[in-house]
Every structure is written in structure tokens, then in C-alpha cells.
Structure 1
Amino acid sequence: LQERQIKASFFLTGNFLRQPEFTPLVKRMIEEGHYVGAHSDRHLLYCDWDLRQKTLVSRSEFLSDLENNYAGLARFGLDKNTSSYFLPPYEWYNQEIADWTREAGLVLINFTPGTSSNADYTTPADSNYLSSEEIYRRIISYEKSDSSGLNGFILLIHPGTAPDRTDKFYNRLGQLLDELTALGYSWVRIDQLLAGAGQEKAGQIQGKVSAGKAFIPSLSTVWSVESPRKITGLGCLGERIFWTTEPGEVFIAEAESGEIKNSLNLKVNLVQPPAAGSSGFWLAAGSDLWLIDDKGQVARKMSELPDLIHRPVEQDGRLYLIGKSNQEARQPVTGEIIWQTSFSVDPSVLPVWSSSSIFWVAATGQILKIDQKTGKILDEYQPEEKISILLSEPEEKALFIGTVSGRLLKYDLAGKKASWSVKLGSQRVEQLLPGGKYLYVLTSGAMLYKLRARGGDLDGWQPVPARLFGRSLIFSDELIVPALEDLLFGFELKSIQNSSRTVLPGDLAVDLALKPASRQAGSKDLLLAGLYNDHENRSLVVALTREPQLFIEASPLSPQPPGERITLTVRASGFSRPKFEFYLRLPDGQEKLKRKASTSNNWSWFPVKEGEYTIIVKVSDKKLTRKAELSYNITRILNREK
């Protein structure tokens, strides 16, 4: 290509983009002026080979995978504006995939059939195997036999094929280019060939004709970064994030971009996830503890520690180390021991810290209230049932106690009695999350409850659609609940309705982490996920955010004859009290305002003339404005099933 000054179009998967050995190749593609676009993140099979209309992936899985592919492209300065054409994996898709692609603001493309150039991936063992000589012959034969030759043709060739195929067709690319150039053909990039095919304005969110499926948005990928071997911990410290892997490696990266700034290898088996401190983060291995600063340097090391069962906690100038039979507090700077105790602690229940006390559960079942300054027992409480989880009020007036039998109670510390008690079925209380006046409770049976913290009144409940997997947290007005190995369900805090569903590009291996937005312009709250691919023994750290999303539903579906009433409904996510404004683009290109801004997300339309129309919806709140478009055909010629 370089020798002949010909520009091509390369479509790359996220898996390809993440391989360090391919980075120079991708940079060269861009530097030499080739088009570089998306080919999915994990090369998923979208629909059944035999029953093409049967879609094998969910909408959320498709969009999440696509966003992860663009996160990989973003590392090379590419986005949906520079690379709006999308080539689906296996070049195999159906109408639903095409609709979802358009909804994502992209243009789906495919190769032009007829030459079998796409069969250059086949191996001699395949029943559909074609040699390079046969592929070459078919291309030239097609050019001679078709009245239009190869004019406007999209010719697909794989730059990488299986080792079993030693007869690489790309080795004959130069010969093919020379022969076709001699016949008068010139070569252009895909965006030049299809200029005008994607008329959507940059930044617009596309609509979709819906058959009634619920609109469930997903979190958007900001960036992703790969590291070798299994991730064991993930955290955030200021504008840096850090994670650890099994052989004792530590990685430190920029939170906004994911760019790795430093790394080191302690060459030890880290027994606890990293814990943020005031001047770095703490790592524990055996009886040793390291403090790593934000530059990736070992700032401090302590030895002869208790056998830790929970990660270290640094608070108010003290470093707390909780072992199963020994506990202590140290001075974080000098390592000087402030106090030591020797209680037998239940390792299945996480200790909780209030303003001046620590609460942990003894092996005998009692709750011990420990003075943070001295390590002495201030009080103890004997519950009637086995405890599964604790949560302390910040003012230290009460403890919320969950039990293995499904009971949740609020324990008045001063009165030493329960101020309220609620039985939430018979499943273990797994997680408690405070949210202002409310408590959000998750049980082992994958049930989500919302209760009033003051009186224990049940405000609502909702089943989580899949088995819980990891600790939940509150992010951007949603309760994010990990489920199975690679799903994140979002529940709106007010209604606890399912408000998002995100498919991760790997199995979740560690607890989620939060990175609050900085004061820098454009900074966003980030949700960090540490993933692991067991087959490839590699990890992926992904930063997610909640972006505004729109979805237009039309009832009845397009096409319809003139005179029918069409109801348009807009689903909006990521807006605060949005207003909806409806426009109509006529077949002649004119745009007319049909309904002024209103809090109503519905509009009824009575078309009387045939033509291809575009419904445009503008959604705004005090901070955001977004648009969505939906094409709709009005025609008297309808192919209806009898």
C-alpha cells in the first residue's frame, strides 16, 4: 500500500488494539492516512448461522462491547466522529443489529459479495477452503463478467489468518492492486467511498423503531487498559488509580486516561486488596506491610504484623490492622504501635468504623465496641441471631445489624435495645448501603429492599435479575449491583427500578471502586472495574461513566399508511427533570417544530401524505441538551402478512 500510495480501511477489534505488539502497527496505519474503524471488542457472534433473525446477544451486551471497542480506539486518538463506519464481526448480522448500530450513531457496512475474497481466512481442513489462486481467479473473473466490473466494490481481505493457512492471500495483494490499477481502477478509503451514507450529525443519539422491548441503557466505557496475569485488588488515590496482580505486581495509572505511569514488582503474595491511605496505599503480604506512594515508590515498610483477615484501615492518624486473633493500631508515619489487643474475631463479618469507635464481631457472636484511641472494650452487645453484616451510623447512635436468617434491625447503642426490626424473608442479609434517609439492602436471594433508616418502613423492593457477585455501591444516582461474573445492574435510588444493565468485557475479579470527578473541566465520576480473562491469563481495568442516553419508540411500527395515528415515546436516561421537544423533517428536507418543550415524553402524529419522514426529539435539562432521530416511512404499499 505504501509503495503504491494507496489508502485502505482497517477494522480492528478491541482484542487486537490491546495487544502491545500491535501498537506500532496501528500507529502506522493512522500516520500513513488509512482509515481505522471498529470491528467489535471481543468478536462476538451476533446471530445464529442457520436462523439469521435469531439474535444471540442482548442490546446491552452489543452496545457495551461496541463501547469497549471504541475505548480501545480512543487510545489512538480515534472516536465515533473519526471512525463512524462499523464492520460487524464475522461480517454476520441481522436487522436488529443494524438498528442497534444506528442507535449508537454509527453506520454498519459489509463487503460486497461475489468475489469470495473474504474466504482468505479458510484453512485446508475447512470444507469451504479456497486457495489464494482460486480467490484471485474469482476476483478477476467477476470484474470481467459483471457489467459494472468492480466499480464501487468493497473488497475484504484479512490481514491476519490462522497459522494452518500458509497460503496467505495478502501476499498477492500487490499483484492484485497492479492488475486492477492497469484496468483503470483507483482506490479510496471507506469514508470517501460512502461519503453521505451516514448523514447523522456528530454527537447525535439515534432513535430506533421499537417492537416494545424495554429501554435499558448501559454505562459507557471511558477507557480500558490491559495488564498481565490475574488482578487481585483495585483502588483510587486522588488522581491516580492503582491495582495489583497475583505475582505481587503493582500498577499506577492516570485516573482520567488509564495511562500507566509507574509499576513495580514486590515479588510477594499479597494477602489483602490495596487500601488507600493519607499519603499512598497500603499493601499487605504475610507479616509485612508496604506503603506505596503515588509515584510507585516504596515509601515505608512495616514488619511483624498480625495475620490480617481484612485490609488495613487508616483513619484519624492511626493505622488499624485486624487479625483473626490479634489486632493493633500503629502510627502510619513511624510504624510505632499505639495499642494491641488479642480478641478472637469472626472473619466473615467486616468490622465497621464510626467517629470514635470500631465495631467487630467476636468469634463467640458478641458485637464488641472498641475505643479507636486505646483499643479497650467500651461495650458489648449479645445479639439473638447470628450476624452477617454491620453498618454504623456516623453519629454513633445506632448500629444496623443484618443476620444470616434474613432479619435487619436497628440497635440503639445508648438504650442497648432494638429500636426496630424487620424480617426480609429467610435469605441472608448480604449487603447494607446507606443513602441519606434510606437503607438499601441486598440479600443472598438476590432481592433488593429500600427501607427508611429511621423507622424501618419498607419503601420498596425489587428482584435482581441474576445471582449477586461482589460488593455493590452507589454511583451517579444509581445503586450498582454486580451479578453473575460480568454483569452490572443499575437501580435508580428513588424508585429502585432497574435503570441500567452493563455487560463487562471480562469476568469481575475484584470489588468495584469509585473515582469522584475532579475540579478539572470535563472531569467525570468514574466507576472502576477489574476484570480477568482466565484463558488468556490477563486482566483488564475498565473505567465506566453514566452518559445521557435517548431511545425513541414508535407505535405502531414503520411503515404505515397515511391517516394512521403514530405515537412516539421517548425514553431518556442521565437527565434531571428533562423536557422534550418534537420536530418533524419532511420528505423535502424541511424541519418543522411540532410540539414545544414539555415534560411529557409522548407525541401523537397523524401523517396524511406518503414519504420518508424523520422524527427529531430534543431533550434538555438545566445542564444537558441531546437530540435523537428516528426514520419513519408512510406508504400505501404495505407488505402485510395474511
Structure 2
Amino acid sequence: MQKFIAVSVIVFLAFFIGMENNHVAAYGWGFKKNSDHQPPDIGEYQELLDKYGAYYADLSGDKVIYLTFDNGYEAGYTGEILDVLKKEEVPATFFVTGHYVDSEPELIKRMVDEGHIIGNHSYHHPDFSTISKDSIKEELETLEEAVAEVSDQKELKYLRPPRGIFNEQTLKWTSELGYIHVFWSLAFVDWETSKQKGWEYAFEQVMDQIHPGAIALLHTVSSDNAEALEHLIKELKKQGYTFKSLDDLVIKDHLPPSIYGF
């Protein structure tokens, strides 16, 4: 009897969560990669992003790049990456989890002190499509509070959903909570620390996919990325690219080109 009650409770909770999410199908962010140096086609996702003010690239055609890094844990390379960004005067956004903030407060402080943006990657890294709006709110607010305790950045406004999983409901809810979803238009498998292939591989992966307005997703656990970053930045500058922050992208998107000056 007790086993039956326990199973019934689990079924009820699963049904309740499904009702909370209105049974909206979940999507994993992805697109067909191309090497024609144009933003990838994201199909029907574009309508959803436009509806809720989300981004995956700067579609203006300007030769601008936005560097973003996902940080779930530290592998010893973030300091090196920050050194390169400082030397080359390039801004970046670091999407961090609660574990990262709790374990690496000094790196969080350094990121903010050196002019980078901290983005919200949630506190516990759950699949947002399976939890309620209140649970999502708690995940985001707890992470924001943790960042505020160890740095001068008191508010987080950019969100990268855990695992890149989303649906219209999660886009709507997080928009109502004041967040801007930021996906990406350039990425490769760089997080498998036991399968690093040398900095040239990372360099080639980025250069093959680079395009005007790219939002690049990289992981700081990659030794390849740490070694390739300075080479990438210098080469892209030679090709006429500039590096901007996500704040620049949002400002640009909301002002006439003649006012923004691009």
C-alpha cells in the first residue's frame, strides 16, 4: 500500500509539473553548421526569439563578435583566459552556475573588476522545461544573490538556459522575470577535457564558423581554448572584426543606427 501511495504521489507531481508547463515541447538549441561565414539558419526558432527579445547573433551584418563562456566548474584555465582578454582589451560574458560562484569567488570578482559581464546560467543547472516558474525564479535569484555577495555586479540580466534547453513557456517566464535569453551562433565540442586536440584545432573550429555578428560559445575548461584565444583574437582583428559586449548588442538593437554610430 505504501509503495502504491509513493508511486501515486510521483505520478501526480509529474502531472502537476506538466500542467505548470502546459505540456509545451522542449527544444535543445541547435542549428546546422555552415562554413560560408554567414549566421546559421535557425528556422522556426527565429520567430520565438523575436517574440521574447532573445538573441543568438547580431544580424546587422557588422563585423562584430561577442565572446561568451559557460562556467560550471574550474579546471585551471580561466585565469589564463582573463589574462588574454585583458591584454587584448576584449570584453566577454561569463555564464556561471552556483557551484562556480561558490567555489571560485575570486575569479568572479576578477571578471567583474576587469569589465566583463556575469550572466545567469542558473544556480543548480536544471532543465527549465521541467520545473515551475517559481522554481526558475528561485534558481535565477539565488545565483544573482551569490554573485552580488562576491562582486560589484548586483544584477544579472542575461540568461543562458542550462543545457540550451528551452521552450516558449520558459522564454515567456524568464522574459517576465526581466531576463534576456542569449543563445549562440558558433560553438563546437570543447568541453570534453579528456579529448583536447591542441590549440590549432580550436582555432580552426572557430575560424571555419566565424561570421559577422557571431555570439561565440566557449568553455573555460578547455585547455585548447585557453591556448587558442590570443591567436583567435589577433587573427580576427586582422580580418577587421571588433569585439563587443552583450550590453553593446542590446543597446545597438534598440537605437537607430545613425544614433548608435555603427
Normalising by structure 2, we get a TM-score of 0.58
Q: 1:90 to 1:197 in 2, by over 3 A?
A: farther
Matched, 1:141 2:208: yes
The yes-or-no answer on 1:74 pairing with 2:144 is: no
Relative to total residues, which structure has the larger helix share, 1 or 2?
Answer: 2
Is the CA contact (8 Å cut-off) linking 2:108 and 2:147 kept in structure 1? no
**Corresponding position: 1:122 with 2:192:** yes
Counterpart pick for 1:62 among 116, 136, 139: 136
Q: In the alignment, does 2:149 pair up with 1:93?
A: no
Alpha-carbon displacement from aligned partner over 1:134-175 (angstroms, at most 9, x marks no partner): 4422322234xxxxxx211111111125xxxxx532221111
Letter of the 1:79 counterpart: K
Structure 1 contact 11–36 (Cα < 8 Å) conserved: yes
C-alpha distance 133-45 of structure 1, shift in aligned 2 (>3 A): farther
Instruction: Answer whether contact 1:45 1:89 (CA < 8 A) is retained.
Output: yes
Matches within 5 A, 1:558-637: none
Aligned match of 2:94: 10
Amino acid at match of 2:191: Y
Give matches, 1:196-235, under 5 Å.
Answer: none
Secondary structure of 1:172's partner? Answer: helix
How far off is 1:59 after superposition? 1.8
Counterpart residue type for residue 88 of structure 1: P
Taking structure 1 as reference, are residues 151 and 193 closer, same or farther at Cα in structure 2, changes over 3 Å only? same
Read off the aligned partner of 1:9 and give its amino acid letter: T
What is the CA distance between 1:11 and its match in structure 2? 1.5
Partner of 1:159: 220
Cα 1:94–1:197 change in 2 (3 A) is farther
CA distance in 2: counterparts of 1:61 and 1:105, whole angstroms: 15
Report the Cα distance in structure 1 between the residues aligned to 2:114 and 2:126, rounded to whole angstroms: 29
Q: Do the aligned residues in 1 keep the contact of 2:111 with 2:117 (CA within 8 Å)? A: yes
Q: Distance in 1 between matches of 2:180 and 2:114?
A: 24
- The structural deviation recorded for 1:130 is 7.2
* Residue 112 of structure 1: aligned partner: 185
- Deviation string 1:261-293 (CA, Å, 9 cap, x unpaired) is xxxxxxxxxxxxxxxxxxxxxxxxxxxxxxxxx
Q: Could you tell me which amino acid in structure 2 is paired with residue 56 of structure 1?
A: T
Q: Residue 26 of structure 1 corresponds to which residue in structure 2?
A: 108
Kindly report which structure 2 residues correspond to 1:240-389, keeping only aligned pairs within 5 A, or say none.
none
Q: Cα 1:160–1:104, aligned 2, differ >3 Å: closer, same or farther?
A: same
What's the offset of the Cα at 1:84?
A: 1.2
Cα separation, 2, equivalents of 1:23 and 1:124: 26
Of 228, 235, 238, the residue aligned with 1:179 is 235
Verify the 8 A CA contact 2:202 2:224 in the aligned structure 1: no
TM-score, with length taken from structure 1: 0.25
Partner-residue secondary structure (3-state), 1:111: coil
Q: Within 1, Cα distance between the matches of 2:130 and 2:197? A: 28
2:119 equivalent to 1:37 = yes
Quick check: 2:203–2:231 contact (8 Å CA) kept in 1?
A: no
Q: Structure 1 pair 177/170, CA: closer, same or farther in 2 (3 Å)? A: same
CA positional deviation for 1:70: 0.9
CA deviations over 1:184-215 (Å, ceiling 9, x no partner)? 1111111112226589xxxxxxxxxxxxxxxx
**Distance in 1 between the 2:179 and 2:218 partners?**
22
Tell me the secondary structure at the aligned position of residue 194 of structure 1.
helix
Q: Percent identity?
A: 26
RMSD over aligned Cα atoms:
2.4
Q: Equivalents in 1 of 2:197, 2:228: separation in Å?
A: 14
Q: Write the deviation string for residues 459-518 of structure 1: whole angstroms up to 9, x where unpaired.
A: xxxxxxxxxxxxxxxxxxxxxxxxxxxxxxxxxxxxxxxxxxxxxxxxxxxxxxxxxxxx
Higher relative contact order (CA 8 A, sep 6+): 2
- Cα distance change on mapping 1:196 and 1:180 into 2, 3 Å: closer
How far has the Cα of 1:97 moved from its partner? Answer: 1.3
AA partner of residue 142 (structure 1): Q
How many angstroms does 1:107 deviate by?
Answer: 0.7
Structure 1 residues without counterparts, runs of 5 or longer: 47-54, 144-149, 162-166, 200-642
Q: Which has the larger radius of gyration?
A: 1
The match for 2:58 is none
Query: Which amino acid in 2 is paired with 1:27?
Result: K
1:198–1:108 Cα change, 3 Å:
farther
Q: In the alignment, what sits opposite 2:44?
A: none
- CA separation in 1, counterparts of 2:162 and 2:254? 20
Give the aligned partner of residue 84 of structure 1.
Answer: 157
Question: 1:180 deviation in Å?
Answer: 0.6
CA distance 1:179–1:4, change in 2 (3 Å): same
Deviation, 1:4, is 1.1
Amino acid aligned to 1:77: D
**Cα shift readout 1:27-56 (whole Å, capped 9, x = no counterpart):** 11111111122111111123xxxxxxxx22
Aligned residue for 2:214, secondary structure, equals: coil
Q: How many residues align structurally?
A: 170
Matched with 2:23 is none
Assess if the C-alpha contact under 8 Å between 2:112 and 2:153 holds in 1: no
Structure 1 residue 133, shift from structure 2 partner? 3.7
More strand by share: 1
